[in-house]
Chains A and B, each alone.
Chain A
Amino acid sequence: EAQVTQNPRYLITVTGKKLTVTCSQNMNHEYMSWYRQDPGLGLRQIYYSMNVEVTDKGDVPEGYKVSRKEKRNFPLILESPSPNQTSLYFCASNPGQGRFTDTQYFGPGTRLTVL
């Protein structure tokens, strides 16, 4: 089944404790992206990657890191989480070629709470 997976789905942590949210897609997509969703603000793009070893900042990159060492994986790293990073996080991917290169496939979301 074609899908984007995220782990963990739920996470409660404390301020300053490094964490990683994994994202993996099995569709051989070139493009991957991370978003955070907050009430009244919709989804805001954190980082995106157009291919392996190519990443770029979205609208709200502060406090986050990403890496793209393999095509299928795009982990989101919070080196020192703070309470204002409490949010719902989505990973998404889309193909770099073909008819629907613009259409994103979303993961199920990760609910992160930073105490």
Chain B
Amino acid sequence: AQTVTQSQPEMSVQEAETVTLSCTYDTSESDYYLFWYKQPPSRQMILVIRQEAYKQQNATENRFSVNFQKAAKSFSLKISDSQLGDAAMYFCAYRRGYDKVIFGPGTSLSVIP
């Protein structure tokens, strides 16, 4: 069965600094998608970044980038130049086609002014 693990329940970062959130997953599939979602206090789920497993190039969206290591089944999120608005819960998620979507337990990120 597929699982997603986020080993850091809580993280903190100084404003303007860089932070990396970890995510590992377990699957026997070769074709799948990975996501990072942000959930601010409003509870809205916001897509931060997505990665297709067949693409070797790491996805980037402005200050957010991933380090996708397919062989190691690792999918970490790097936030550069952290801002106060980045404070939120971050969820890593795995999806295979239209099949089940598996979320990790989340990492709560605090940004220190």
Interface centre among A40, A44, A88, A102 (most CB of B within 10 A): A102
* Cβ A102 vs Cβ B44 within 8 A: no
Partner of B44, one of A33, A42, A44, A109: A109
Query: CB-CB < 8 A to A96: which residues of B?
Result: 98
Chain A residue with minimal CB distance to B106?
A: A42
Could you tell me how many residues of chain A have their Cβ less than 8 Å away from some Cβ of chain B? 24
Known: A42-B105, A43-B91. A102 touches B100 (CB 8 A): no
Query: CB-CB < 8 A to A84: which residues of B?
Result: none
- The binding surface of chain A is classed by DSSP as strand
Give Cα A96–Cα B97 distance, bound, in whole angstroms.
10
Chain B interface bracket (under 10, 10 to 19, 20 to 34, 35 or more):
20 to 34
* Cβ A40 vs Cβ B105 within 8 A: yes
Give Cα A35–Cα B103 distance, bound, in whole angstroms.
10
Known: A42-B91, A42-B106, A43-B91. A33 touches B101 (CB 8 A): yes
Q: A45-B101, A92-B45, A106-B45 are in contact. List 14 more A-B contacts (CB 8 A).
A: A40-B106, A41-B105, A42-B103, A42-B106, A43-B103, A48-B98, A50-B98, A102-B33, A102-B50, A102-B97, A104-B47, A104-B101, A106-B44, A108-B44
**A/B interface sample: 7 pairs, CB < 8 A:** A35-B103, A59-B100, A88-B43, A92-B45, A106-B44, A108-B43, A108-B44
Residues of B within 8 A of A (CB): 4, 6, 9, 33, 35, 43-45, 47, 50, 91, 93, 95, 97-98, 100-106
